[in-house]
Homo-oligomer: A and B are copies of this chain.
């Protein structure tokens, strides 16, 4: 039994401090259902990606809470959490539910509300994705973790701040065209390089913002789609997921992301696709260095050559391997639990030929979603309907 995407939708990623998780999730889900003849009551299972609802809104148990709010009160509903990879892991559980026969119609959604809290509280909440004993209690924050990775990468491969800045410029400029993106202003390399240092060598525009938002995917089994003669949007060709030590100190190298390498190999095998067949990619660019490491781990670039992507324009919308045409986390925003779902929303639009930064002849798409500094990674390969 294969998993088919019937419809997708997303709120604008932005700061919505007047909102709540249930409102944002409800908005995305309602719009997703508008795109199909299905109703929320048809849903067998609701999978909710969310990272910090407990910490920000005093609200756990988001599975039934949000299922009920969108009209799927009786569905088997559950929250999936794997830090910033919660969305990707949610997609993978939804696919398993369909492939196992446990569900025919699934709502896989993600939501995060962050901007209602003050920035120190959000920073603390995000730190729950790191190893509390071996990282947080030693004073290491996420900008610091990624700064260590960036500095080592620059040392090993003679990369420069300008190489990293090129990733931010590309993704911010892609975001300008995407009405769902948080940032809507063009950036220049100079503006990136002159922005405030946050953890040397990283500067402000090397990092993604604090965002609120929700994304939703209505997924069905291929059998259900056929029996109901359903217009569909895309198909899930394969998925992969792997893990690594949470604490950076426990990794053999901090300029490689082996969980992503393993997840990608598994997803390519599952999809029976090779990296050179992929037409359009969304990767987890929480920091500029993360996009560079991602496109290497996914098999698109040799180690140490990932910076070429943005610098040479190869990963631009009209390049040989368009990466983060949505704007990515850097430009579109990063409402944690929604991000991995939002990647699938964006790529589905590419496969349907209706993306604001449309890639010509997009037939195979890949999403890469990371938790922490690489401890959990999911890869999803999508094809046309």
Contacts and interface: CB of A to CB of B under 8 A. Distances in A.
* 6 pairs of A and B residues whose beta carbons are closest in the complex: A60-B128, A76-B241, A99-B100, A100-B100, A64-B243, A61-B83
Given A68-B243, A243-B63, A376 B128 contact: no
Contacts of A100: 95-100
Contacts of A63: 81-82, 89, 243, 376
Interface stretch (A47-55, A205-213, A283-291): A47-55
8 contacts: A54-B55, A63-B81, A64-B245, A65-B131, A72-B243, A77-B243, A79-B81, A102-B239
Interface string A121-157: 0001101111111001000000000000000000000
B78 A78 contact: no
Contacts of A166: none
A284 B144 CA distance: 44
A68 B102 contact: no
A375 B65 contact: yes
Interface residues of A, number: 68
A372 interface: yes
Nearest to A263: B76
Report copies per complex.
2
Contacts of A80: 78-81
A59 interface: yes
Q: Which of A60, A129, A244, A371 has the most CB atoms of chain B within a 10 A radius of its CB?
A: A60
Interface string A300-327: 0000000000000000000000000000
A96 B3 CA distance: 14
A41 to B, nearest CB: 13
Contact of A97 (B83, B96, B124, B128): B96
Nearest to A137: B58
B60 A81 contact: yes
A253 B98 CA distance: 32
A259 interface: yes
A367 interface: no
A231 interface: no
B79 A372 contact: no
Nearest to A72: B243
B96 A64 contact: no
Contacts of A239: 102
Interface string A2-18: 00000000000000000
